Structure 1
């Protein structure tokens, strides 16, 4: 075999090896990206996969696009006064649940939209975009916003609305709580009327479950 053929054969072998290394590298990168998205989004990852009929690649493209659009979003702090106002409004919404669950979930939906916008997320008039941004930064709590938004715009049982309110409270707590540099010492423990709420309380001092001290109509509680 001539020297030319030997060199040509070596070149072909090198090209094949390089191509194989590139393919393996891409495969590892894709798997790592999927694992990274699953760690970042948690249960939201599984929900998006289910919505894509089990197509993990399609779900990862959607979630990756969310991160690309909203991953660098910088949150704005709330003033102590604004935080106290939100805490009082949420407590009032929970109290309203006793007599009017549907109105309460509608108010909770609007309240979360305003609060998220104040923290620097997209405007609440664009629910899908705001939800996508929230899912990137608060994936563990964002399903509560989805539930209360659906409850506010559909027909649900009182118990379903109660569950939506309780889960939405988790996102409210995260959004309303101060950052370390955001005057955490002024985090409110009471509502504007100055009274303590009895029963289980969250970090903001309002009752965790709507109507805990009363029976909501039709709830069977």
Structure 2
């Protein structure tokens, strides 16, 4: 066999391999569009489409990019002692809500950023990227984090006065954010002392996440 023929065969083989890889990549990208993205992101899909004024292509492009960046993220184990400390801090924030709703929401925002970071998500100092990663793995509950963060970081209004959310709005934000918090601290099979996987634990606790706390909207003082 001549040298020229060998080189030609090698080139043809390389082209075939590259073509197959490109085709596989294209199929994978198509596979995370439309129905797959709706199923993966749930309510987050609808929110993203609404943010793009109904432009589903633009929304799906963003969601696919989030999935590509953060889809392979594996949450780090959380030690039982650290989990209990986080749960105690959340309970304290709920109790603080009675006297100071705004401070309670601020603490909830701070705590969610810290717990997410401990689990291996991007650091809380990079809020947008952290939320993007959380939306890939906790799409059902990530919006609660957005709500408390928006309230906690509210600035000054046009009249020069601090922008304050209504007490009821803050209460609803705390309740919704608690669902994400419980997802993040739920034991997994990889945690020390954990039993079962996150999904079963999360489902078992999901009902409690939306139950009233030890106070009602009438017990909380005004904002």
Normalized against structure 2, the TM-score is what? 0.73
How many residue pairs were aligned? 176
Q: Does 1:218 align with 2:209?
A: no
State the structure with more CA Rg: 1
Note the C-alpha offset of 1:126: 0.7
Query: How big is the shift at 1:208?
Result: 5.0
Q: 1:90 to 1:32 in 2, by over 3 A?
A: closer
Matched, 1:184 2:188: no
Q: Which runs of 5+ in 2 are unaligned?
A: 1-25, 155-163, 196-204
Deviation at 1:160, TM superposition (A): 0.2
Q: Which moved more, 1:148-157 or 1:96-105?
A: 148-157
CA distance in 2, matches of 1:181, 1:75: 9
Any conservation in 1 of the 2:176–2:210 contact (CA below 8 Å)?
no
Q: How does 1:56-205 map to 2 (within 5 A)?
A: 56-154=56-154, 155-182=164-191, 183-184=193-194
Unaligned runs of 5+ in 1: 1-25, 186-201
Q: Distance between the aligned counterparts of 1:74 and 1:38, measured in 2?
A: 22
Q: CA deviation at 1:109?
A: 0.1
- Structure-2 change in CA distance of 1:32 and 1:91 (3 Å): closer
List per-residue Cα deviations over 1:128-170 (Å, max 9, x = no partner).
0000000000000111111111111222100000000000000
Provide runs of 4+ in structure 1 moved above 2 Å.
29-32, 205-211
Residue 34 (structure 1) shift: 1.1
Name the SS for the 2:33 alignment partner.
helix
Q: CA RMSD in A?
A: 2.4
User: Residue 96 of structure 1: SS of its match in structure 2?
Assistant: helix
